[in-house]
Amino acid sequence: MQEMLDIYRDDLQKAGILSRNEAHRTGALHAVCHLWVIDSSRSIVYLQQRSNQKDSHPNDYDISCAGHMDPYETPVQTILREAREEIGLCLRPEDLQFLGTCIENFSLDREIAYVFMTDLKQPRFELGEEVQRIVGVDMDAFLAGEYVDENGDTVPAKDLCGHDLSIIKRALLQLHILACENELCIRKARPYDAPMLCEWWNDGRIMAHAGFPNGIHTTIQEVKDGLKGPSTRCIILAGYIPIGEMSYREVDPETVEIGIKIVDPIHQNHGYGTRLLKMFCTYLFQSYQKIILDTSADNERARHVYTKLGFQMVGSRPDAFQDELGHTYTVVDYVLDQAHFKK
């Protein structure tokens, strides 16, 4: 029995029904559903290896689960059916997060894809005949365009059958976002940020305020290793473009120490520092009672921002550090509690 598909005009209005073979032969636009299975608790994205009996992309690695939408099915009905048939997952509609749609063009195979994600802790798969195996790949590597399994081995996933990955990558990035306000976002730094951070930290113009006018002479691997340390490093985004970094470190169960640096000169002196600190402090006050930081006594712009937000100066340390050029700096210490926070 031939598989039948609804076909669509370019304005996405239904135009009739064709067999799957005829839709592919003529390039008629038809609907498919994609399901990305992830385990955010272990930072894993699951890929399937297609059966060697498939008529397209045999043996290739692909989306966790995908399939054509039958006539009169809804996208949710389709993906629940495909998840059950292909990879043995019995999901409920509430297990699904709809991410969006995209048009994919594969020569004559033109598809409108409804993209879903489900986040499951250590899912148990039962594979159908169209799937050889399921492999979990590191989420950070996936975002960087690499496919590395849980043992550190490279998975020969090529281009995942040519699918548009922008929707799922955007959703995965959202998992690491701590705070967002209009065009500004703060997200946790990931290993794929290491080359960018390394470039920033080795730039003396950026690091001069921290006492390193010649940069800190670090390596990408050292930065990656540092991301595993006691401080949580964060990336500042303006319209999804990285423009700086923030960090926080727990001092005790009630106190956290923070830092902020906007490295892109185009985005300096636009009030971003005040907005970002408000966002950051609001996030941290969900878990802590007190926020501390320090800055150079001659960094008047930063000190003005801290005072405006309610930080209290609690002391200074003359000649606290000396930079590579022999200049000494006085450091001023600040503290902010929730009662004095000027949101």
* CA distances, 261 to each of 234, 258, 299 (Å): 10, 11, 12
Report the domain count for the chain.
2
Residue 235 and residue 312 in one domain: yes
Residue 224 and residue 155 in one domain: no
Render pLDDT for 248-265 as a digit per residue (tens, 0 to 9).
999 999 999 999 999 977
Residue 143 and residue 210 in one domain: no
Please check whether residue 139 is in contact with residue 169, taking contact to mean a CB–CB distance below 8 angstroms.
no
Residue 64 and residue 170 in one domain: yes
Q: What is the CATH number of the domain that holds 258?
A: 3.40.630.30
Residue 204 and residue 99 in one domain: no
Residue 51 and residue 23 in one domain: yes
What is the pLDDT averaged over residues 321-335?
91
Q: What is the CATH number of the domain that holds 38?
A: 3.90.79.10
Residue 119 and residue 247 in one domain: no
Q: What is the rounded CA–CA span in Å between residue 322 and residue 43?
A: 41
Render pLDDT for 109-166 as a digit per residue (tens, 0 to 9).
889 999 999 999 999 999 999 999 999 999 888 887 889 888 888 898 877 888 889 9
* 300 Cβ contact partners less than 8 Å away, ≥ 6 residues apart: none
The residue out of 151, 174, 197 marking a domain boundary is 174
Residue 144 and residue 36 in one domain: yes
Listed residue (286, 291, 190) closest to 233, CA to CA: 190
The residue out of 174, 191, 217 marking a domain boundary is 174
Residue 241 and residue 115 in one domain: no
The residue out of 174, 196, 231 marking a domain boundary is 174
Handedness of CA 188, 194, 196, 198 (dihedral sign): positive
For residue 230, give its domain range.
177-340
Question: Would you state the pLDDT for residue 332?
Answer: 96
Render pLDDT for 162-200 as a digit per residue (tens, 0 to 9).
888 999 998 998 888 899 998 899 999 988 899 999 999
Residue 181 structure tokens:
């306000």
Residue 18 and residue 141 in one domain: yes
Residue 114 and residue 28 in one domain: yes
Per-residue pLDDT for 305 more than 80? yes
Q: What is the rounded CA–CA span in Å between residue 136 and residue 36?
A: 11
Render pLDDT for 19-46 as a digit per residue (tens, 0 to 9).
888 888 888 888 899 999 999 988 899 9
Helix axis angle, 272-284 relative to 300-309, nearest 10°? 50
Question: Would you state the pLDDT for residue 1?
Answer: 67
Residue 164 and residue 183 in one domain: no
Q: Range with the lowest mean pLDDT among 47-56, 96-105, 111-120?
A: 47-56
Q: What number of helices (H) and strands (E) belong to the chain? A: 9, 17
